[in-house]
Amino acid sequence: MNRSAIAIAFLAAVFLGWSLPAGRADAPIFWDNKERLPKPDLSTLPRLRFLTTTDFPPFNYLDREQRLSGFHVDLVRAICTELGISDKCEIQAMPWEQLGDALQRGRGEAIIAGIAVTEEARAKYAFSRPYLQFPARFMMPRTNATTEPLYAKLQGERIGVIAGSGHEQMLRAYFPDVKVVTYTRQEWMYDDLKAGKLAGAFGDGMRFAFWLAGSDASGCCRFAGGPYLAPEYLGTGLAIATDIGKPEIAAAFDYALQQIVLKGRFAELYLRYFPVSFY
């Protein structure tokens, strides 16, 4: 899921009326609590400046008082606290297209702004491990929503998906017996789902969660089955980028992120910004 789609989906949920359905939301855990990562010593590091943007809600944006806010901002604070260098930490926002050059020129030590972890990007950056991935989910009318295993239950059913997306490729590969109905606009798929013209929709879990939480969904639908993670179709998720010549900083982020997850801090942040869990 790209940055623009995430921002649009989040803003739509907010402006259409975010509501939290009853029930427990779950936070994802991507770390093995038995793995022992070495605690880094960053005492000689004079500064740790994170570079980000203001146009990627709910991850980084300007609040009503024009203060830099969001999931990434709070995550940076937690990372710096875990590394014991809060007094050396800074976060600076700038236009997306300036991030790479700013890091290269030494204006910052890390980028936390949703840079896709691709082979091309790995030639320029050292990345932390992913701290958040975006699963594919099925969404169905509330009265007909079913549970795993879905494979046999969805055979012959009309399932909506965005045309040309990784989700379409994944749906056709994983569920070859469904009747794939493609859409060029997300809202058209939502309308048909609400009208009962589809048995379900398949797509980005986070975007679906934003819609389910908004008043436009009118409580019609819910997630069905579990989350599907498929890096070959959906990418590897969000990671922190740093200079390719400083892998020790990326390793320090791995340590901090693991500790934040194991201590429950990541779950607190996740549920604060994503009250309808896409997991």
Per-residue model confidence as pLDDT tens digits over 215-230: 999 999 999 999 999 9
Per-residue model confidence as pLDDT tens digits over 156-207: 999 999 999 999 999 999 999 999 999 999 999 999 999 999 999 999 999 9
Which residues of the chain does CATH 3.40.190.10 include? 31-133+236-273, 136-234
Per-residue model confidence as pLDDT tens digits over 11-36: 444 433 443 343 345 677 778 888 89
Q: How far is CA 62 from CA 68, 109, 111, 193, 211, in A?
A: 5, 22, 17, 34, 22
pLDDT at 161: 98
pLDDT at 134: 93
Question: Which of 26, 58, 36, 38 lies closest to 248, judged by CA?
Answer: 38
Per-residue model confidence as pLDDT tens digits over 244-272: 999 999 999 999 999 999 999 999 999 99
pLDDT at 29: 79
pLDDT at 22: 36
Residue pair 249/242 in contact by the 8 Å Cβ criterion: yes
Model confidence band, residue 2 (pLDDT cutoffs 50, 70, 90): low
Model confidence band, residue 3 (pLDDT cutoffs 50, 70, 90): low
pLDDT at 8: 43
What superfamily does domain 31-133+236-273 belong to in CATH? Periplasmic binding protein-like II (3.40.190.10)
136-234 is classed CATH 3.90.550.40: no
Per-residue model confidence as pLDDT tens digits over 49-85: 999 999 989 999 999 999 999 999 999 999 999 999 9
pLDDT at 30: 79
pLDDT at 1 > cutoff 80: no
How many Å apart are CA 137 and CA 110, to the nearest integer?
31
Q: How far apart are the first and last CA of the chain?
A: 15
